[in-house]
Structure formats: structure tokens, C-alpha cells
Chains A and B, each alone.
Chain A
Amino acid sequence: MLESRSVSKSFFGKTVLKDVDLILEPGKIYALLGPNGSGKTTWMKLAASLLKPTSGEILYKEEPVGLASRKEIAYLPTDPFFYSWMTVQDVGRYYADFFEDFQPEAFEKLLSKMELPTNLKVRTLSSGMTAKLKIAATLARNAKVYLLDEPFNGIDLLARNQIMESIISSLNPEVTLVLSSHLVEEIESVIDTSIFMKDGLVAEVCNTEDLRTREGLSLTQKYRQIMQNRANLG
């Protein structure tokens, strides 16, 4: 469904993503795992068609990502990005204006679940509240692919559980979910496939269940193993 074919991206001669090949199928939850600067965000932005690849291509439904794919791919960036003059309610209106798959009722439900008042100005929100708003706006889309880049950044422990619940409840067998996070332990229980990234390369792709049953390793242990091995090799 979402396919990355030998995708590379360079900025001013510095390669941040090298020949990334991936095939992401519907009905699965993927985790992009790796340290800062490993290329997770760059790959997500390429898949969201915000960046243009230096070489290779990302296909959605066998077509290069772009205008058409933006209708079905919901991207949640790490950084705050809403217009500062907006209220929480304005954000919902904006999404409703631009995305046909946006469900205002779902947005309101998510806001109330996260205890986020609709009349607050975006510029007055704390980082945790902004993160919740981003999640609510993104998950209120009835998208086919969700790309969630560090969705738990700036969110406290209790709210994280709430958000994880919201993410899981918004899934169905047609949906592909790609999640990037530093909090490996917290997402381990929900992940089907883990994609380990290091220095712009895909280091390994693992089925999380197989990892537990065959190798007897947790996601955290595998993460340490891969990153340390590569560091030692480096």
C-alpha cells in the first residue's frame, strides 16, 4: 500500500536517508525506531509529500505520493505548526475545510476525552496541550494511513496512556499506522512490525511477536542490540 523504493534524501550534500526500501501494509502498526538524526522524521515527511526525495520514490496505491495521497495520508509532525491566531475550535474548522475525511464529532469527542477546552487560543497552550490538539486533529481524520512522528513528545505519563488508547481505537483493518517514538517500552505492546533506523539506513525490520517468541527479546533489548552493534561497528 505504502512503498518506499530506494529513497534517499540529501541536504546540502549531507545524506540523511540512504536507499530506504520498505513496504507497509494495511491493518498493521509499524514503529520507526532509532536515535535522533537516524532519518525517521525525514522518511515520514517524504511519505507525507512535504519533502521531495533526492532519489528513489515513495508510492501510495502505486502512485508517487503527492496531491492525491494527501487526501488519505494523515501526518502528525513533531513540532507545533498551527497558526497562532487560531483557537482549538478553529483548528477543527480548518481540518474540516481541507480534509474530506475529517470528522468534527470525532474531533470534539477526542478533545473532551483529553480535557482540552475548545475556546483556548493555540498560542496559549502548553506543549502538552498542543501535542494533544495535534493528536486530536490528526486522529479525527478517517485516513487510510497515519504517520505519527513522536506523538508523545511533551506529554505526561497519564495522558500518554489516554493518547495510546485513542490511537488504538481509531484503527481498523484498512488502516496503516506508522509511529515513531523514543519511548520504545511504552509502544512495544501495540507494535506489529519494528523498523530500526540508524544513520539514515534501515538497520533491521522485525516482527515484534517473532522477536519475543523466537529470539526471546523485548523491543528495548533488540533496540539496544542493534544500536550498540552498529555503534561498535562504526
Chain B
Amino acid sequence: MKQLLKYEFRKTRSVKIIVFLVAMIFEVLFLIGLPFKSLEKIGMLGMGGLVFTTVFGIFMIGIIGISNLYTDLNTKQGYMLFMTPRNGYQVIGAKVLENGLSLLLGGIFFGILGSIDLMLVAVRTGDFIKLLNQTLHSMGMVEISPLQIFWSIAVVLLFWLSVVTMAFFAVTLQAAILNGKRFGGLISIMIFIGMNILVSIVFSQINRLIPMGTNDYLNSSIWMIESTAVTVALYFLTGWIVEKKLSI
């Protein structure tokens, strides 16, 4: 598993380096604009860019994982993985784990960066956070704090990982059925959409059982448990398809 994981990380390295470099460029712009009133616009551009890079980066980590799996299952490149003495659960496990760890590390990185930047803004303009929190509060949203940032990122990451695992399942199922035939990508997307609808229905049925006015943290904890359950269930199902049904 260690070796599989090593190569999964290697396959996605370039995309992660690009995301990191783009984030650093926006961070520099933000830091340039922070101390000087005259450079405020550059700072705002940096801040906006960082928010965009966080969302885009996390999205890209998932997409690149899905794209790599599609290539591994539908092209000759798949021999590299499936010629090795590793079973389907290990192969898929390494991919899910790589994605989960990349999302976690990405989340921690952007979480720390976001917290530091918020603290810097607070030092620079003491009333900025207060004003922001008042606005959020009036909109019925929770206030911003480093804990809140990390908690929100954890919820989003676990949800996103379950979406990525759904896509892994869809890609693997189409590869097992179609065996590299045309329209594989389209069929995968259709299976993926179907899975999403099904999971959403199940989630909404479960969430109906939660009483109104429940604490936000408890609500999001349930959401995290649901996402994790989907990830684990689909991982085993995908591993089984690879092991028993898939031809490369």
C-alpha cells in the first residue's frame, strides 16, 4: 500500500505544485496590499484570489484523482497498476487515501493561511473582523473564527471526498461494463449523476429525523458521518468490482 500511495502522490504532484504556486502569488499580493492604504486594491485582489484558489485547488485535487483513475482503467497505462501483485482493494484504497490525505493537507494549508491572514487583517484594522461577524450574524450565519474555518473546511472536505469516491465508483463501473469502449466518459458522468441523486435522497430522508433548531456543530457532525459512510461503502464496492469484474 505504501508504494501504491507513493506513486498516486507522484501522479498528482504537478497539479498540486501549480495550485500551491498560484496560492503563493495571491498571498504575496495580499501581503503587499495589507499595510498600505494606497495598495488596498492589490490586497483585495490577493484576498479574492486566495478564496478562489482554495475552492479551485480542493476541486482540482478531486478532479485529478478521478481523471487518473479513468486513465488507469481505460488505457494501456493501467498495466502499470494491475500487473503488480496488488489487489483491487489496495489499488482503489491508495487512490481514496491519496485523495483524502491531499484534501486534508490542502485543507490544513489553506486553513492556516486563512487564519493567519484573518489575524493580520485584525491587527491592521481592528474593527474589520467585528464588522464582518456582525454582518454574518445579521444574515443568520455563524461568526468567523479559526475554529469555525477549520470546522467548515472539514465538513466540505469530507463531503467532497464522498463525491470523489462516488465518481471513482462510477468510473470503475463503466470500465467494468464497457471495457474501454467509446462514450465511457459520458456513461461515467451519467452513473455519477444517478448516484448523487440517490445519495441526496437518502441523506434528506435521514436529515428529516433531526429536530429543528439543533446545534450547528451537531448538524454538521451528522453530515460528516453521512459523508464518511458513503465514502467507506463505495470504496468497498469499487474495490470488489476491480477485483472480481474488471478486465484491463
Contact surface of A with B, Cβ cutoff 8 Å:
11-12, 45, 48, 50-52, 67-68, 70-71, 75, 77, 79-83, 85, 94, 97-99
Contact = CB atoms under 8 A, between A and B. Distances in A.
A67 B85 contact: yes
A75 B248 CA distance: 13
Contact of A94 (B76, B80, B244): B80
Nearest to A68: B85
B83 interface: yes
B83 A70 contact: yes
Nearest to A70: B85
Contact of A83 (B6, B77, B87): B77
**Which label, helix, strand, loop or mixed, suits the secondary structure of the B interface?**
loop
B195 to A, nearest CB: 24
Contacts of B179: 11-12
Contacts of A98: 3, 84-86
A210 B86 CA distance: 41
Contact of A79 (B76, B83, B85): B76
- Interface size class on chain B is 20 to 34
B236 to A, nearest CB: 17
Contacts of B14: 85
A67 B76 CA distance: 19
Interface of B: 3, 6-7, 10-11, 14, 76-80, 82-87, 179, 181, 244-248
A79 B76 CA distance: 7
B152 to A, nearest CB: 34
A51 to B, nearest CB: 4
Contacts of A11: 179
Given A50-B247, A50-B248, A52-B247, A99 B85 contact: yes
Given A51-B248, A52-B247, A94-B7, A81 B77 contact: yes
Nearest to A54: B247
15 contacts: A12-B181, A45-B248, A51-B247, A52-B244, A67-B85, A68-B85, A70-B84, A70-B85, A79-B76, A81-B78, A81-B79, A94-B7, A94-B80, A97-B7, A98-B84
Question: Most chain-A Cβ atoms within 10 A of its Cβ — which of B6, B77, B85, B86?
Answer: B85
A82 B86 CA distance: 17
A89 B56 CA distance: 34
A99 B76 contact: no
Contacts of B79: 50, 75, 77, 81
Given A11-B179, A52-B245, A52-B246, A77 B76 contact: yes
A17 B14 CA distance: 42
Nearest to B2: A97
B44 to A, nearest CB: 37
Nearest to A84: B77
Contacts of A82: 77, 80
A85 B85 CA distance: 22
Given A51-B248, A52-B245, A99-B84, A80 B10 contact: no
Contacts of A67: 85-87
B3 A97 contact: yes
A81 B76 contact: yes
